[in-house]
Chain A
Amino acid sequence: MENDRSEASDAREMIICRDVHKWFGDFHVLRGVNLTLRRGEVVVICGPSGSGKSTLIRTINRLEEHQKGDIFVDGIELTHDIRNVHAIRQEIGMVFQHFNLFPHLTAIQNVTLAPIYVRRWSKDKAEEVARQLLERVGIPEQAEKYPAQLSGGQQQRVAIARALAMQPKIMFFDEPTSALDPEMIKEVLDVMVELAKGGMTMIVVTHEMGFAKEVCHRIIFFDEGNIVEENPPAKFFTHAKEERTKVFLSQILTH
């Protein structure tokens, strides 16, 4: 497949990573990652902390810069070209572990901020879309509240609505439930499941294997800067080939 710079309208490959390397100073955090993601695929990346899985998705949407290798998002190459970076960032919506909601704005203002200033929508149009999204994630009545007045689960759902407001083609989730109290994890996972079933292309970095089993097409085990093993859920848990995968599975599945 030499011609990866394909015409946008027919792109089946939404994300292509070819031999991606990244160093933090001397520390080699990504070691030649090769990854392909097709439209509509839901991929879960799991692995021990420090393995580089968060760094990988943050590199794809340019929150970090890769030093070697190629990354293509929906046919656009990720280079130093600011137009490319800008376009790629609009294609990808990101949900963070610590929500990162803007505390000085209400929930609905959080959601409408980017559409108004980046896509130049009118305030009314942005608000209408925002209310629909807040309803979709199940908290339409919290629109006028500030983040400090919401529970963790509600904040994360607002964050998801905020990411969806820009109508991205791909959604990244960086450990979305790791900072939540147990009783709030389900409400967030439910939203993510609904998104996945609606055909959204997603990469989810998480330890929530229940979610993985329910909706994802592939589970990737990531360790020491590279993909160790990937398989559909059915085979991942029962037919793990690598030793490291088996050790990891035994650690997370025993609770």
Chain B
Amino acid sequence: MSTIAVARQRAMSILRDERFLRALGQAVFAIAVVLFVAWCLSNYRDRGSTFSFGFLREEASFDLAEGMAFSPVDPYWKAFLVGLLNTLKVAVVGIILATILGTVTGVARLSRNWLISNIAGVYIEIIRNTPVLVQLFFLYFAVILKLPSLKDRIVLPGPIFISIRGINLTWPRPTESFAYWLPFLIGAVIVAVGIYAWRVLLERRTRRPTSRLPWTFIALAVPLVGWFLVPGNPLYPNRPAVEGLRVVGGTTLSPEFLAILIGLVIYTAAFIAEVVRAGIMAVPRGQTEAARAQGFSEMQILQLIVLPQAIRIIIPPLISQYLNLTNNSSLAIAIGFLDLYAVSSTMLFQSGRVVEVFLMIMAAYLSMSLTISLIMNVVNRRLALVEQ
């Protein structure tokens, strides 16, 4: 073939070269995205909007009734922090409670008792087929706001007050001698870790299963002894008392906090119950039968055979549910609980900094989601390794 013809063929073929086409496709896509973003930004600037995070140091000029102490002269970033802490409060407590309730319900759903199984079933069906916001509204407006007034409050031993103002609990408060007691607390943790490590080494040496957890409870003796050794009482029960129209002392759980917490726990637990049920059912029946034939007790079967395998199946969807709970906590804005989202909204309207605040919201929620995913993935991998 002549060289010119070959060269022409070479030039033509680059247009049909798959590597070139792939690179070209990506370049075109990237340019399109950049152009689109540039167009959006130019529209933004045409409106005279600016972009800066300086506003965070300005005064908030609004008050926050929930969470850490805050006053209207505090800066915006502190408000954001208060909101974040409130959300974390709800998320952490919510996840723990929802897991407990969800597991109990899931196991109940598998019970041989027809009544128990169906009560759990009805609960799950109703909760899953109703939007979470409807449940929150019902709980907040129709239940909690219907609680008796402070005058007619329900009093439980403690004392614990239940009224429309929320729940007032007796809460331990540290006194001057608390500083002397603190070393005993830290010592208890060290002793507990030490006992646990000792039991693990013992198990490895004697090659016989040795119980670990019950022994670590011995460490509780340390703070107990410390309590008597320290002059006075390190903790002092702060009791709520009604003075006129207010409650003084104790810790208050606001009605909004109760509504969002209880609502989220009940809602998420229904989904967790299904996840747990699927996990347990996925463990083949033959295994429990074989174990039973070998003489294992029901408790041992549950602990050694069913749960380890079920947990591996349960964890990934469980992560989704935890993330759902954290994201749903933003609905607090609908019932007036000042979580991260509610506070951010106020910040947004007050300062007019729409884009900046939204970026902060996204960053905060993405971080929380990532953290939960990371922690659970570590747990997941650890449990998998234990079997392997």
Chain A directly contacts chain B within the complex, with at least one CB pair under 8 Å = yes
Closest to B1 in A: A5
Complex-state Cα separation, A136 to B143, whole angstroms: 76
Pick from B1, B18, B20: contact of A85, CB below 8 A: B18
For B21, list chain A residues within 8 Å (CB): 82
Q: Let me know if B47 is at the binding interface, CB within 8 A.
A: no
Number of A residues contacting the other chain (C-beta, 8 Å)?
Answer: 8
Encode B1-44 as 1/0 by CB contact (under 8 A) with A.
Answer: 10000000000010011111100000000000000000000000
Encode B85-101 as 1/0 by CB contact (under 8 A) with A.
Answer: 00000000000000000
Complex-state Cα separation, A83 to B12, whole angstroms: 11
Encode A131-163 as 1/0 by CB contact (under 8 A) with B.
Answer: 000000000000000000000000000000000
Complex-state Cα separation, A83 to B20, whole angstroms: 13
Which of A79, A81, A83, A84 is packed against the most chain B CB atoms within 10 Å? A81
Q: Let me know if A255 is at the binding interface, CB within 8 A.
A: no
Q: In angstroms, how far is the closest chain B Cβ from the Cβ of A168?
A: 22
Within 8 A of B (CB), among A62-84: 79-84
Number of B residues contacting the other chain (C-beta, 8 Å)?
Answer: 8
Complex-state Cα separation, A79 to B19, whole angstroms: 10
Which of B1, B17, B20, B21 is packed against the most chain A CB atoms within 10 Å? B17
Complex-state Cα separation, A79 to B20, whole angstroms: 12
Closest to B12 in A: A81
Q: In angstroms, how far is the closest chain B Cβ from the Cβ of A18?
A: 18
Complex-state Cα separation, A81 to B13, whole angstroms: 6
Q: In angstroms, how far is the closest chain B Cβ from the Cβ of A177?
A: 34
Q: In angstroms, how far is the closest chain B Cβ from the Cβ of A2?
A: 12
For B13, list chain A residues within 8 Å (CB): 79, 81
Complex-state Cα separation, A5 to B1, whole angstroms: 10
Complex-state Cα separation, A94 to B296, whole angstroms: 55
Within 8 A of B (CB), among A44-103: 79-85
For A82, list chain B residues within 8 Å (CB): 16-18, 21
For B18, list chain A residues within 8 Å (CB): 80-82, 85
For B20, list chain A residues within 8 Å (CB): 80
For A83, list chain B residues within 8 Å (CB): 16
Pick the 5 closest A-B CB pairs, nearest first. Answer: A80-B17, A81-B16, A81-B13, A80-B18, A82-B18
18 contacting pairs across A/B (C-beta < 8 A): A5-B1, A79-B13, A79-B17, A80-B17, A80-B18, A80-B19, A80-B20, A81-B13, A81-B16, A81-B17, A81-B18, A82-B16, A82-B17, A82-B18, A82-B21, A83-B16, A84-B16, A85-B18
**A80-B17, A81-B13, A84-B16 given. 15 additional CB < 8 A pairs?**
A5-B1, A79-B13, A79-B17, A80-B18, A80-B19, A80-B20, A81-B16, A81-B17, A81-B18, A82-B16, A82-B17, A82-B18, A82-B21, A83-B16, A85-B18
